Amino acid sequence: MAMLEKQLKLLKTTFDKYAGKDGDKDSLSKAELADLFHVEIPEMDGDKQQLDQFFAGLDGDKDGKVSFPEFVQFAATLMLLYNAF
C-alpha cells in the first residue's frame, strides 16, 4: 500500500475512534477533539483557550463540529509542519 494511502487510512481510523464517542459519528465535537489531542498528540494538548483556537481553526464551515474533510486538512497541515511526508 502506498505511503499516503496508509496515512489516510490511519487518519480515518483515528477520526472514527474519537468521532464515535458521542451521538454523531461523522464529526468531532470539541470534547472529542480534546480527547484526541490528549491521547494521540500530547504535544498539542494545551489549555482550554488553545483548544478553542484549534477547534475554531479546524471548523472551516463554522457548524460547531469538525468533519472528516476538515480533520484531514488539519492533519495535512500538521504533516507539512512536521515534514512527515
CB of 26 to Ca ion, least distance (A): 10
The single-letter code of the amino acid at 35 is: D
Query: Which region among 8-16, 38-46, 59-67, 74-82 touches Ca ion (by CB under 5 A)?
Result: 59-67
Q: What are phi and psi of 24, to 5 degrees?
A: -90, 105
Euclidean distance between CA atoms 35 and 31, whole angstroms: 6
Segment interacting with Ca ion, rule: CB under 5 A, options 8-16, 28-36, 58-66, 73-81 = 58-66
Interacting residues with Ca ion (CB under 5 A): 59, 61, 63
